[in-house]
Amino acid sequence: MNYPNGKKRLIRKYQNSVNRNQSFSNRGMTLEEDINATNQYYLTHDICVIHKKPTPVQIVKVDYPKRSAAVIKEAYFKQASTTDYNGLYRGHYLDFEAKETRNKTSFPLHNFHEHQIKHMKDIVKHDGIAFVIIRFKAHEKTYFLDATKLFPIWDRQYLTAGRKSIPHQFIIDEGIEIPTHYPAIVDYIKVIDQLFF
């Protein structure tokens, strides 16, 4: 199937399976696509309202080879974006970043940016719920990590020349594996219910 952006997408039929705990994480979708599909499910079923934040871009040059086929030739980020997603659940503000890695033993901290960490600290300071969703593709596992557990690791890398990565074992111990099933592929709301409600 071709989408309007020209990308081809393989459509697979999801069969009702006896095994309800089947993992859907290695279907070829990216974490972002899985979260977008999950958020759409949440919205459709009136569970919560979470949206991906658009990245502010300044378009500088556009080529118009023909009227129906404008092509952006040059564009720049207007400002540093904050995190990937935000919204509301049960009257609480949610804000989170989604990252994935092929690394088997740790998650590199350089995948985060200083302004993202500062933004999440501001959210927590004002009683919002900030977190990260991290997928280890090699293990086919996706984890929820409360941002308050990320902050000390982030700060330590500068204060004491500490590690430049988060060990996989730390994420297993301090995070929570997110259940993966269809149709809520990355069902992070179940984790939020467990931790906050």
Q: Can you say which residues are annotated as belonging to the binding site?
A: 82, 84, 97, 116
Q: Helix H segments across 11-100?
A: 31-44
Distance CA 178, CA 187 (A): 6
Distance CA 28, CA 159 (A): 39
Q: Are 25 and 135 in contact (CB under 8 A)?
A: yes
Region for residue 127 given its phi and psi (left: phi exceeds 0; alpha: psi -120 to 50; beta: otherwise): left
Nearest to 171 by CA among 114, 133, 124: 133
DSSP state of 2: B
- The dihedrals phi and psi of 85, each to the nearest 5 degrees, come to -135, 150
Residue positions in the annotated binding site for Mg(2+)? 82, 84, 97, 116
Q: Are 80 and 114 in contact (CB under 8 A)?
A: no
